[in-house]
Structure formats: structure tokens, C-alpha cells
Amino acid sequence: MIDATELRRRTRELLAVQPPTRLPPPPSTEGPAGPPPSFAGTDRLDFLRARFDAGLAWVHYPEGLGGLGAPRSLQAVVDAELEAAGAPDNDPRRIGIGLGMAAPTILQYGTEEQKRRFLRPLWTGEEVWCQLFSEPGAGSDLAALGTRAVREGEDWVVDGQKVWTSSAHLARWAILIARTDPEVPKHQGITYFVCDMTDPGVEVRPLRQITGEAEFNEVFLTGVRIPDSHRLGEVGDGWRVAQTTLNNERVAIGGTRLPREGGMIGPVAKAWREHPELRTHDLHQRLLGLWVEAEVARLTGERLRQRLAVGQPGPEGAGMKLGFARLNQQISGLEVELLGADGLLYDDWTMRRPELVDFTGRDAGYRYLRSKGNSIEGGTSEVLLNIVAERVLGLPSEPRTDKDVAWKDLAR
């Protein structure tokens, strides 16, 4: 059984064999010239690969796949040792879709060959991932998607359009759901694939947002050939596989670990303290209320991660993501109101293709505009309210008249 003591030992052993920082040699004792310059240390990527191979990437994963089969809660032990040693991380924000959505799905449904091919470069950040789920006519009703995949020998030929695809302009791989059987009801005729974004027929076009940036994209798939060996799960079982991805996505968006006054509430509290001339009684009361709600959300996130440590994410993630969206929009609105005319300033309207979404390192105007997307991305707030109502509170489900209708017969 792997415990905290054993993990510390293995982590320190990794640091001894693969020191992550370059250190100058000790002072010379061989005269003025001294020994030739030499450095002890490991290249960042080499260190990350060695960490993965040592089972210290995500300790709850199986041996040989970046883990040791240890309790998920013990990951914090490894992370603390490596942080204290100045070891590099894998830039998790940049590769969040791979870490938070693709990896758990591959682990649960992938073949051994798929796990060994994809998980290591995914975790080290050598290969960026994106998510090809939503379509112009299938966003909130994702199961109505129309992208088709038709079997031709050992390949599937895919044609369709996806939209709101974060990081598609950076990604090597995509998790993709497509319709493989239009003759059955919409939830039953979907299959889940891994798509190579560098293949012929994949076209990525930027979507300019209200912020002026283009972190999202629309993706056109024209005759894209995907080998059957890149299918995850059984043919027609893609909706069930996709639920694993979606549950993990909501946790990844709404359940990020934050310190007190982390996230959106931090800049507002800072502005309040630094500018007493901006204060009014009404703003003070609203800020206090939102500060308390942000702290409750932070502690609830800690509780959710404790549940994750002993199982798989469930519908609780939908509640966290709901709160995340609502709080961000209310807090950013309060910040703009607090700063008055200065709150409307936004220093960069140029078209950019960012690798990361940075909420706290930008102007208040940017935060206000960007937070509007929080109630859409990762599942709209309306859909998540239904999930919480039905799967958490046990309320009756909404009438679904198309549940047993073949997809080809649905009105579109």
C-alpha cells in the first residue's frame, strides 16, 4: 500500500536522480582557472517525462500510466515536495482540456494501447487537446448533433461542423463525438473518437469574441478519416462515454482550487481597500455578500475535491459550475460599478489568439465581458439547473417528447 511516507521517499528519489534546476558548480579549489563550468540539472520536459514514468504525475492512476494506484488525496504530498524543490509543473492551465476532460475519459474507456499512446504526452504538455462536441444546431441539446461518421473498412469518414472549440488552433488531438446511426433515437446513435487535428480535412477558423480575442474556434470536418483504433468505447455508446467527459469538465471549470480571495473576488477586494473614495454603503453591502458567497464556493470546492478523492465526479460538479458562472458575472459587474468610468477601460481590443484565459491579470472591463461566457461554456446554466434538479434533488424530469424518436425523424 502506497502511503504518504512512501510517496515522499519516491519524490525525493526522483529529485535526486533528476534534479530539476540548474545549479552552478561548487567554488573551485584548483587555482584561478578552476574546473570547467558544469551544471547539474534536468531539462524541463525531461523532468516531466521522468516524473510521469516514476508514477508521480497523477498518483491515483495505474502504474505505468503516470500513477501508482494510490489514493487521489495523496497527490498533494507529491506536489508539495516538488514545489518546495522548485520543480517545474506541466502548465496545467494551458493543457486543462487534456488533463480535465480527455485523460479521465481515455483512462476509463480507452484500450491499453490508447492509454499508453496518449496519456504521457498529454500530461507533459507535449500534445495539446481540444473538445469537438458542440455544433451550431446542437449546443444545449448536444445529443441532437449532426456530424456524421460513416464506416469505410478500418476507418470512419467524418463530415460536419463543430463550434466554440477552445484551443483548436493549438491542439494536436481532439475528443470528438459524431453520429454513426441516424436510424435510432438521438442518444443511442453516437460514437466517441479521438481525432488528429493535423489530418487533411480539418479546418480551424477563429471566432472573435466580445473581448476582441479569439480563444474559441469553429472547426469544419470534411472527409476526415479516423481509424477505428481511435474509437473510445463501443460503437453507438458515445453518449455514455461523453458523460464522463462532461462531468469532469464541469468539475474542472467550477472546482479549481483557490486561496482565500482567489479568483474574481480578489481584484474587487483589492480595489475596495486601495480606493476608499469609491466606497458607498450599498456597494459595501453587496461586496460583503459576494465575498461570503465566494468563500462558501471555495470551501464547497474543497469538499467536492475530497469526494473526488474517493470516487468519480457526479452531478455535484454541475452545481459548482453553476455557482462559478453566477458569481463571476455578479462580481465583475460590481467591480465595473465600483470603479466607475475607469471600470469601462479595456486596454487591448486587438485580435489575439491566446493560449490561456487570464481573468485576474487583465482590466476590469475584460473581466466583465469575458465572464458573460461562463454561463454558456461547459454547459449552459439552464441545462445545469435541470441536472441539479433531476440528479441531485430528485425532482421530476422535464417532458422529453423526442426521447424515443429516431434522429433522422427529428424536426430541425
Residues forming the active site: 249
How far apart, in Å, are the Cα atoms of 384 and each of 41, 101, 104?
47, 17, 21
Q: CA-to-CA distance for 363 and 343, rounded, in angstroms?
A: 8
Instruction: Using DSSP bridges, classify how beta strands 155-163 and 216-227 pair: parallel, antiparallel or unpaired.
Output: antiparallel
Q: CA-to-CA distance for 134 and 100, rounded, in angstroms?
A: 17
- Do 132 and 151 touch, CB atoms closer than 8 A? no
The residue among 123, 73, 80 whose CA lies nearest residue 99 is: 123
Residues 392, 396, 398, 404: what is their CA dihedral angle, to the nearest 10 degrees?
100
- Residue 233 buriedness (CB in 10 A; 0-12 / 13-18 / 19+): buried
Radius of gyration of the chain measured on its C-alpha atoms: 24
What does the block give as the cell for 347? 486596454
Helix and strand element counts for the chain (H, E) = 12, 8
Q: CA-to-CA distance for 101 and 174, rounded, in angstroms?
A: 11
- Give helix 316-339 / helix 265-274 axis angle, nearest 10°: 30
The DSSP line for 213-235 is: B--EEEEEEEEEEEEGGGEESST
